[in-house]
A and B are shown apart, each in its own frame.
Chain A
Amino acid sequence: MDLFFQQLINGLSLGSLYALIAVGYTVVYGIVQLINFAHGEIFMIGAFGSFATWTVMGSPTDWPATGSLLILLPVMILGGMAASISVALLTERFAYRPLRNAPRLAPLISAIGVSVFLQEFVRLFYGRIPGLPDAKSSIPFPAINGITGEIIQIGGVTIQMSAVFTVGALAVSTAFLWFFVNRTRTGRAMIATSQDPDTARLMGINVDRVIMAAFAVGAALAAIAGVAHGLTNGNIGFRMGFLAGLKAFTAAVLGGIGNINGAVVGGLVLGVAEAMATSFIPGQLGSSAWKDVWAFVLLILVLVFRPQGLLGAKVVDRA
């Protein structure tokens, strides 16, 4: 039974990470029907941005836990967000906006190009920035006192503080996102645009601004995920966005692409399914080698029996 709860914790932690990234896919898709394949790289940029922020602060390692949690970590997250939001807005402006009215395939290819560009850019040029380490191989992420290496032991279940941070970050982000979408003018403009951009424009909504807001929100959450990834895994690397992005995209489809709550649910379901498949499918098929297989079998089953995703895609009727 301990193993069950242990894998549940692992799965929720991993799933929260997927969910934080998946929101970025789903928000952008909901508004411009673009699958932004460069979003995994935005997540990676967020992690590298927070690392750079930490370096600018003098690479502190000896701050007491309270100072680390109340000042260092939030500043690092803000630094990561600044990096990821700027890059997301730049890609939107230069790689997607010129293709706004082009056939759907064009922005998709453009997104793949941006993804390759950002990976190579970080690989080749991150180390050229004075004071920053070379990013051609993985970089150890800084330890934050109060999180790194700290654990909570409940019976036989070990809960790492980094997992608590990741799940907590998802909870706070989701609450914030709900408020933003449902209770602010920009949020309601986003809903209106996703339902019908032409009519929204007639109602006086600045659609370009709404699209930028969607990219910015996704990038902000991706930066939080980047920090969580660094804290959980201890390393960041220029390739980290590829697989994480793919899994997060899967999570978004699983939950119903375009649906924010669906992205969160899809991420958690995918993470837990992977962790559980590692331990609880008997025999040869249950080894860790098969965890991705089971995760994608789950995706196929959901798409066969519920093509709109677990919570339904809110915007599928449009086109």
Chain B
Amino acid sequence: MNKRTFKLAGVAILASTLALAGCGARTDAGTGGATGTKVAKIGVIAPLSGDLSAMGLGIKNSVDLAIKQANASNAIPGWKLELAAEDDQATPDVGKNAATKLASDDAVVGIVGTLNSGVAQSTIPVLDAAKIVQVSPANTNPSLTKGADYLTAPKRSNANYFRTCTTDDVQGPFAAQYLLGTGVKKVATIHDKTPYGQGLVTEFAKAFTAGGGTVVGAETINPDDDNFSAVVSKVKAVAPEAIYYGGVYSEAGPLSKQAKAAGLKVPLMGGDGIYDGNFMKLGGTDGDLATSVGAPVETLASAKAFLDGYKAGGYTDGYSAYGAYAYDAANSIIAALKTSLASAADAKSARAGTITAMSSVAFEGATGKVAFDQYGDSVSRVLTVYKVSGGAWKAEKTGELK
């Protein structure tokens, strides 16, 4: 999938967990009989159609798996969980409608989603007003949890929003630590003047300098430029040992190629915006580096149960990039529901209690430790450095930002 579209759309998969089984619910439940169970729904808001649907369906299926497992083990006695999935088409307006629809369903107690940060910006306020918790497996924009001034004055804007993935603002420092660890002391930075690129470079430079390195050059390019020779020559003159680039692959590829052609044969490193197969097609070469959030799921021992369950579940679509995070997101909501639903008369009255209970959720999930800090961000800050090798991205180092 196209990483740029993904970024532009603002990557936030809204995996909303719809929990109640609305119309299908047994209406006499709770009043009579020992078999009576009440229904709560966990919603999913994600792109289930269009370019990003591979990731959206992976999220939906992973949430479905978590719900089925919870029902099978009778995780919440007296309650049956159900899935209610809505398509947001990776579009803020559609996402907002989906959130409104789910909020009007009294059985919904939590939402997993969105994929795109831009969509999350429109769903969070709607769900906040209805006191429904939203846990995203994929939004990487730091401002969603810490507000617009997340660098200088972090301030939690919506109490109902949590996420299980890592954010953009730890990518820069992680890249800095990796480069310092490989002995690189002199780096030139280049960014494309977008908030994403500038944010990456600012955080990188701060951490790189603090770690004993020197930023020998700080340049920018225009996102529409094709010819970077003037910038490359200027950077070459200060002889850096690596280039850190804040931006996306469509400029990073040609930039890497033109730098090498001009005799500046040092690796170019970037964030998840360049972690895409097209980077190599456009000129990225062996030795170039990228950070991306999370760990490659296949390598995690903790994810084995998830992967086995997913396989056994017989889903036709893959779990994709954020499946394991969506699975953890759904399980975090289920963990909170254990507290909030226990004493609740109906699903709607448990909504506020679920948000309160989220902050004390802590368990070992598929992607590692799942718990949230005071802003709603995941406490696990795992990232992976990928390196181009033989024309493809290979995981180089997975670690946690200290």
Contact = CB atoms under 8 A, between A and B. Distances in A.
B224 to A, nearest CB: 5
Interface string A1-28: 0110011001101100100000000000
Interface of B: 2, 193, 218-222, 224-227, 229-231, 233-234, 236-237, 250, 253-254, 257-258, 261-263, 278, 281-283
B101 to A, nearest CB: 33
Contacts of B227: 14, 17, 229, 232-233
Contacts of A153: 263
A148 B252 CA distance: 19
B221 A288 contact: yes
A291 B230 contact: yes
Given A138-B250, A274-B230, A289-B219, 7 more contacts: A6-B236, A14-B230, A160-B261, A240-B226, A243-B222, A275-B229, A288-B220
Contacts of B281: 140
Contacts, number: 93
A151 interface: yes
5 cross-chain pairs, A with B, having the tightest CB-CB distances, nearest first: A278-B230, A289-B220, A10-B229, A275-B230, A233-B226
Given A137-B2, A287-B220, A288-B219, A235 B229 contact: no
B224 A239 contact: yes
Contact of A13 (B193, B226, B229, B254): B229
Interface residues of A, number: 39
Contacts of A235: 226, 253-254, 282-283
Given A3-B237, A235-B282, A289-B193, A14 B229 contact: yes
Interface string A138-155: 101000000001010100
Given A149-B261, A151-B263, A243-B224, A279 B219 contact: no
A67 interface: no
Contacts of B237: 2-3, 6, 279
Interface of A: 2-3, 6-7, 10-11, 13-14, 17, 137-138, 140, 149, 151, 153, 158, 160, 162-163, 229, 232-235, 237, 239-240, 242-244, 274-275, 278-279, 287-289, 291-292
A254 to B, nearest CB: 18
B263 to A, nearest CB: 5
Contacts of B234: 3, 7, 278-279, 288
21 contacts: A2-B237, A3-B234, A10-B230, A10-B233, A13-B229, A140-B282, A149-B261, A151-B263, A158-B263, A229-B226, A232-B229, A233-B254, A234-B254, A234-B258, A234-B282, A234-B283, A235-B253, A235-B254, A243-B222, A275-B233, A279-B233
A140 B220 CA distance: 23
Given A239-B224, A289-B220, A7 B254 contact: no
Contacts of B2: 137
A3 B233 contact: yes
A278 B231 contact: yes
A29 B250 CA distance: 34
Given A234-B254, A278-B231, A242 B224 contact: yes
Q: By CB atoms of chain B within 10 A, which of A229, A279, A288 has the most?
A: A288
A242 B231 CA distance: 21
Contact of A287 (B219, B261, B262): B219
Q: By CB atoms of chain B within 10 A, which of A7, A10, A149, A292 has the most?
A: A10
A234 B226 CA distance: 9
